[in-house]
Amino acid sequence: MKKRIVGYDAAKMIAMFFVVMLHYSFYTRYYSNGLAGTVITVMCTVCVPLFFAVNGALLLPRPLDVSKHYRKTLNIIIIVTVWKLIASLFFVLVDGSHPVICKNLLIFLMGGNFGEYSSGYFWFMNALISVYLIFPVVKMVFDAKSQAAINVLLVVLFGFTVGKDTLNLLLQMLGTIMHHDFVSILSPIGDYFVFGKYGYVLLYFLVGGLIGEYLAKRQEGRRWVCDLLALISSRGKIAAGIVICYAVTFLIQRYQHVVSGTSLTVDNGYWLLPTFIAVLLICIGKGCFFKSFRKILLSYRSEYFWCLYASYGWFDMSV
């Protein structure tokens, strides 16, 4: 039996719970738009990034069997396609509020929306499959003896995702103070980013892999990673860092609420710097303080975590 890192199972459980809570608040409006409801939903901003970071922590440090990997990827594609067919039948036969044609079904199966129905939650599986399709290339970069390739890749990914969107937010705040549009200055930058809208997913995946490698090898890992993570590998520092990140995220949400009327969410919350740091601290904390052992903590195979993520789609459609 393979050893399990229980901390990663716990991190995925947290992510599952936050995903369901976040979408429950969106579709039912159970929580108010006030401070209490906002605090609850702000806590959930780490949910999807945490999935990808843990996924990278589990996969990248392991040896890769390319043929086996693509067989598993094909199985995921088949299962997601079947799930989309089931969802489309529910839309048409149970809901029936919008007309659809065969073209809408084909677009849905290829990764788009199903006409006017709310089916955007499948974006997560699209992003996961996208990462898995290029995973062997990412693994080559990750395992390369020279660290130049992965360092450049990390800088590019961070600069065009977390860095750009955090800078956009700061420019927006500056524009609010000076009554001028500064955000448009960075608008053309996206044209230079080859990884498109899922670039931040790959960033979380890679950084999660570096954390997983560090936790597995400690001082045998990459020197700069070891030196950086060693500075924050105490419970007190990790807990304080997470609290600070959440506090900053809450203040960002309050600013967006005042300026744009944003409620129960944080615009671009998945890829702002406070969320990025919080996700890394959670991964480090869960990996450090829950040791590996053979006994399975949970009663289910948590590597199929995405099944729960997909299942909330039924709830979305029924409310």
Provide CB contacts within 8 A for 123, sequence distance 6+: none
100 CB neighbour count, 10 Å cutoff: 17
315 vs 167: CA distance, rounded Å: 36
Tens digits of pLDDT across the chain (319 residues): 456 677 788 888 888 888 888 877 777 766 666 777 788 888 889 999 999 999 999 999 999 999 999 999 999 999 999 999 999 999 989 888 888 899 999 999 998 888 888 777 788 899 999 999 999 999 999 999 888 999 999 999 999 999 999 999 999 999 999 989 998 888 888 888 888 888 999 999 999 999 888 877 765 667 777 777 777 767 888 889 999 999 999 999 999 988 988 877 888 888 899 999 999 998 888 765 554 434 444 444 444 444 544 444 443 333 3
Domain residue ranges of the chain, discontinuous segments joined by +: 4-64+134-318
Structure-block tokens of residue 300: 């289910």
Enter the tokens of residue 85. Answer: 């067919």
Per-residue DSSP letters for 30-84? -S-SSHHHHHHHHGGGGHHHHHHHHHHHHHTTS---HHHHHHHHHHHHHHHHHHH
- Global confidence as pTM: 0.85
Burial 169-189 (b: 16+ CB within 10 A, else e): bebbbebeeeeeebbeeeeee
